[in-house]
C-alpha cells in the first residue's frame, strides 16, 4: 500500500479547480439577451367560457435571445409586469373549465403577472430595431426580426390574484383556481 504525498492531493485539487474555471468560461457561449420595454397596454381578458371577464392594464417587456437557436429560430420571452385587472360581471374566468357555472361581480380589482415563450422563425434579429409604443407580440416580431418572420407560442402562464376573491392560473399546461364572488 502506497501513501499519497501531500503535494499530489494539492495537484489534484488545483487541476479540478482549473477545469471548473475553464468550464465556466465556456458558459459565456450562452446567447446574449436584450430587453425591450416597457410597452404599456390595456385589453379585455377572456375566460374559459369565451367571455370577457376583466379589463387589464399592464406593461409588456420582451427579452430576446439575440443569437439564433441551433435550428435557426429565436427565442423571445414576453413578460407582463406592473399588471392589474378589474373584473366585468359575468361567468368567472375558470367557470367552464370547472363546470361550476361560477360568476364574478363587476369591479373586483387584482394583480397579475406572467410570461409567454415566443419562438420566431423565418427572420433575422435586427439590433437597431426600435419598437414603438403599444407594441404587441404581433407587431414586435416583424419590427425586430423582419417582415418575413413568423412566430408560435408554445408555452404561457399567467397568474391572477385578488385580496378576497381567489386566484386563477391560466396556463398552456392547464388552468387552476378561479376568481368568483362580488366585492
Q: Please, what are the averages of pLDDT over each run of 10 residues along the chain (183 residues)?
A: 41 36 43 93 96 97 96 97 98 93 96 98 96 93 97 98 97 96 89
- Torsion-angle region of 130 (φ positive above 0: left; ψ -120 to 50: alpha; else: beta): beta
Calpha distance 13→6 (Å, rounded): 11
Question: pTM of whole model > 0.85?
Answer: no
Length of the chain counted residue by residue: 183
Amino acid at each position: 500500500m502506497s501513501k499519497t504525498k501531500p503535494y499530489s492531493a494539492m495537484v489534484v485539487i488545483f487541476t479540478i479547480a482549473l477545469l471548473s474555471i475553464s468550464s465556466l468560461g465556456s458558459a459565456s457561449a450562452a446567447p446574449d439577451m436584450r430587453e425591450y420595454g416597457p410597452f404599456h397596454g390595456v385589453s379585455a381578458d377572456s375566460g374559459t367560457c369565451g367571455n370577457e371577464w376583466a379589463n387589464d392594464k399592464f406593461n409588456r417587456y420582451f427579452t430576446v435571445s439575440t443569437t439564433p437557436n441551433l435550428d435557426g429560430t429565436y427565442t423571445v420571452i414576453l413578460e407582463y409586469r406592473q399588471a392589474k385587472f378589474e373584473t366585468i360581471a359575468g361567468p368567472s374566468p375558470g367557470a367552464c373549465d370547472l363546470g361550476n357555472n361560477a360568476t364574478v361581480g363587476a369591479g373586483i380589482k387584482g394583480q397579475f403577472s406572467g410570461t409567454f415563450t415566443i419562438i420566431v422563425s423565418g427572420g433575422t434579429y435586427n439590433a437597431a430595431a426600435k419598437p414603438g409604443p403599444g407594441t404587441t407580440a404581433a407587431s414586435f416580431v416583424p419590427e425586430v426580426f423582419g417582415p418575413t418572420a413568423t412566430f408560435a407560442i408554445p408555452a404561457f402562464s399567467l397568474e391572477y390574484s385578488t385580496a378576497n376573491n381567489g386566484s386563477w392560473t391560466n396556463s398552456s399546461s392547464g388552468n387552476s383556481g378561479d376568481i368568483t364572488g362580488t366585492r
